[in-house]
Amino acid sequence: MPRADCIMRHLPYFCRGQVVRGFGRGSKQLGIPTANFPEQVVDNLPADISTGIYYGWASVGSGDVHKMVVSIGWNPYYKNTKKSMETHIMHIFKEDFYGEILNVAIVGYLRPEKNFDSLESLISAIQGDIEEAKKQLDLPEHLKVKEDNFFQVSKSKIMNGH
């Protein structure tokens, strides 16, 4: 288990970047659509941030802020060779938003990433992560981040950090 102080000292963590095409697995194989950040956003994460599943808030462009979960890491089930950051926003979007700016505020940590013996067990774990994130994000200390000025910033700015 990652040391809590390595995780918590970076939270909340704010980042934004243009949505790029990922591996095409989120919606198609998992039924859980994800928005993917470009490599430069992933590469700019704090060097000692633990891989795993986090939760927080996200908006697309200057749109509404929604609950989200984000996987940071190597996705062991799929044996990725490149670290990725895949965000599942808990909202139904009418269409894809590739090329739009994704704004993310990570406020909490759910679990380390791990491998799964089947696609079904992976999907079940992700659904459990989503349910736990929904509960955690209703806590006052996390709700206040939804109103952060970060989500009011001009769409043209791309940044990482606090």
Active centre residues (catalytic)? 86
Determine the Cα–Cα distance for residues 154 and 23; give it in Å rounded to an integer: 29
Written as one letter, the residue type at 48 is D
Nearest-CA neighbor of 129 among 145, 113, 146, 144?
113
Residue 154 sits at φ, ψ, to 5 deg, of: -50, 140
Q: Listing from the earlier edge strand, what are the strands of the sheet with 84-89?
A: 35-36, 84-89, 66-73, 52-60, 101-111, 13-18, 160-161
